[in-house]
Amino acid sequence: MQVVTAPALKADLPIIVLSSNNTDSTWVEHQSLLSQLTAKTTQIQTSCQHSIHLENPDIVIKAIQQFIENEES
């Protein structure tokens, strides 16, 4: 119920979505929906499974660095 009553995200809210290599059609569809959350959403497709932060923490670190750099400019 909280999701239904929550206010909409601000259109200019920066978001980075890290997506695994799952090829299940429902998963891919949901990742696509996540990548459209705001006008400033970026999706990074990885070759990792679900635990991206454990399998390749460098991807997470680079995404955080990218986020910070984009916010500073």
Res. 25 pLDDT band, cuts 50 70 90: very high
pTM for the model: 0.79
Q: Give the β-pairing of 41-45 and 15-19.
A: parallel
- Can you tell me the mean pLDDT for 6-31? 91
User: How far apart are alpha carbons 36 and 19 in whole angstroms?
Assistant: 13
pLDDT at 29: 93
- Residues 4-20 have a mean pLDDT of 90
User: Which tens digit of pLDDT belongs to each residue from 32-59?
Assistant: 999 999 999 999 999 988 899 999 999 9
Q: What confidence score (pLDDT) does residue 6 get?
A: 85
